[in-house]
Amino acid sequence: MKLFSIRIKFLFIFTLSSLFFIHKLAHAVNETVKTLGSGGTENIALNDAKKNAITKVCGETLIGSTNLKSETEKNTKINSNGEASKSLNATSKSTEEDQSLVGGVIKSFKIISKKNDGDLVNIEIEANIIECKKSEAIQNAVTGQALFVQLQKINAELKQLGTSKGIVDKPKTLAQKYHNARMLSQQGEVDLALKAYEELMKEKIIFADPIQDMKLLSKRIYGLEGSKKYLEKALSPIKGRPEYLYAFLSKNEKPIFENWNIVQENVENFPPLGYSYLMTWMEYCGTMENSQVMSCIREIGKLENISKVSKNLVDKIKSGENLNYYIDSAKAEVDSDGFDFQFGKNLYDIKVLKRN
């Protein structure tokens, strides 16, 4: 009898709990319906305002590392119609929020105004953008097989342009701009060639060999130090991207150890940086006294994930994927010549790298 009484009580409590749960669920559904009905439009307007704020500061087609911080915060006042009223620089921050948004990261925002126009809602916000980043969709569009397809189209157009031997008036495509830069360089018009290359730095896809050419040509007319100053200004559109760091690697100088994080984070985005960084380090070690060479090389072995990263880069050479980042594939050797031997065999033989 006592056992029966306990079962009855348990059944009663379970029934009450179930009714309470059903009531809460019904309430939640009701609130969701209300939100979708009355506030849904408002939420959409707010999301639109956020996306427009990011687009105005970062641009929807920004290409670069997903992990790099922007050098400054950027404040912009924006409404859901995409109208910006100001853009200011402030102090650098590191907080990250709203990372799912395309193009950049919003640290914080505040609603300036909200207007109802019938069923439509127009919201104006002031957003604090702390990081511009590449969206996944854009990243996939310019790496791997998709990048190879783009390169094939560019080379096909270059082949057609090559038959004319002339300069394209008002170039619009990447191929036309590259063709003009190369032709002007061959004609000895270095200043004009550099200006043509500068236009390539405004494209969505940045290839490695135009940067190589800019470094070579600018050294020819400005000298080593003058070239650095020129590149700082000419490459400002891509500052903060791995291609920018790539431009400032010098075979006469040891790469900065702290920049390795940028290198390994961009092995898939821009592998030429990886080849250039590591081969520059090896060549720098070769300039040292014999007694110091091995000590210098062992520093390379201390880089985080060096075995994994270098193996990835070697595999890209073997598959030919590394060539996809150069319009003129022959110029890939400028960065990767000897890399397969050094990082695929030699550094393992001398115990600097370890096989997993």
Tokens 């925002």 map to which residue? 109
**Are 270 and 308 in the same domain?**
yes
Locate 7 and state its tokens: 């079962």
**Are 261 and 335 in the same domain?**
yes
CA 29 to chain centre: 41
Contact predicate 71/145, CB 8 Å: no
Bridge-based pairing of strands 104-117 and 84-90 is unpaired
Of 237, 268, 303, which closes a domain? 237
d(CA 291, CA 293): 6
Residue 116 backbone dihedrals phi, psi, to 5 degrees: -100, 130
Contact predicate 121/114, CB 8 Å: yes
pTM over 0.85: no
Position 132 scores a pLDDT of 56
216 occurs within a structural domain: yes
Of 135, 158, 181, which closes a domain? 135
257 occurs within a structural domain: yes
336 occurs within a structural domain: yes
* pLDDT single digits (tens) 259-291: 999 999 999 989 999 999 999 999 999 999 999
Termini Cα distance of the chain = 68
Of 190, 206, 237, which closes a domain? 237
d(CA 56, CA 149): 30
Position 63 scores a pLDDT of 33
Compute the chain's Rg from CA coordinates.
Answer: 28
Position 38 scores a pLDDT of 44
Contact predicate 251/334, CB 8 Å: no
Position 147 scores a pLDDT of 76
d(CA 61, CA 262): 20
Domain that holds residue 111: 36-135
* pLDDT single digits (tens) 8-52: 444 444 454 544 444 444 444 444 434 434 445 666 677 777 767
253 occurs within a structural domain: yes
Spans in the chain with pLDDT lower than 50: 2-4, 6-14, 16, 18-39, 60-102, 133-141
**Are 291 and 324 in the same domain?**
yes
Question: Domain tally for the chain?
Answer: 3
What's 199's domain CATH number?
1.25.40
Position 75 scores a pLDDT of 46
d(CA 236, CA 101): 25
Give residue 17's identity as a one-letter amino acid code: S
Q: Please choose, from the candidates 72, 92, 75, the residue with its C-alpha nearest in 3D space to the C-alpha of residue 84.
A: 75
Position 119 scores a pLDDT of 59
**Are 77 and 157 in the same domain?**
no
d(CA 92, CA 95): 10
